[in-house]
Structure 1
């Protein structure tokens, strides 16, 4: 089951369970669509790509709670782009 992390790792934007802007990589690193575009679609943590995060239906939230852990690790875009655009 996905964690459904609450915010973008780069800009800390709120990404609730029903957000249409949440993107995740294979390790569930979570970023908003805007930051994914800045990152050129490459996860700064694993180098993988991103997919749209599924929406957890409201009626399942009590039984399958979403994560409250905030992972906030702003990306140095210059370093990221040099690393993954070579």
Structure 2
């Protein structure tokens, strides 16, 4: 089951479970669409993979299958040229 991580690993933007702006790689690294498109250029800085929209878990399933509360934030994901 997906962890549904709560925020962008690059800019720390909140990404609630119903966010259409969340993107994940195959290792569930989680970023916002703005960072994926404009900073990371579609390549995960952790694994080198690509991204896909994170599925939205139905609200009725969140009680028994809650999202993760653990935030991962790495401000160093921004390229040095930025």
Query: Larger % of helix: which?
Result: 1
Mark the runs of 5 or more structure 2 residues left unpaired by the alignment: none
Measured in 1, the distance between the counterparts of 2:69 and 2:31 equals 15
State the match for 1:13 in structure 2.
13
Q: Which runs of 5+ in 1 are unaligned?
A: 80-86
Aligned to 1:52: 53
Task: Please give the secondary structure, in 2, of the residue aligned with 1:31.
Answer: strand
User: Size of the alignment, in residue pairs?
Assistant: 79
1:72: Cα distance to partner?
0.4
Q: How much is the aligned-residue C-alpha RMSD, in angstroms? A: 1.0
Q: TM-score, normalised by structure 1?
A: 0.88
Larger Rg: 1
Q: Deviations over 1:66-85 (max 9, x none)?
A: 10000001213137xxxxxx
Partner of 1:77: 79
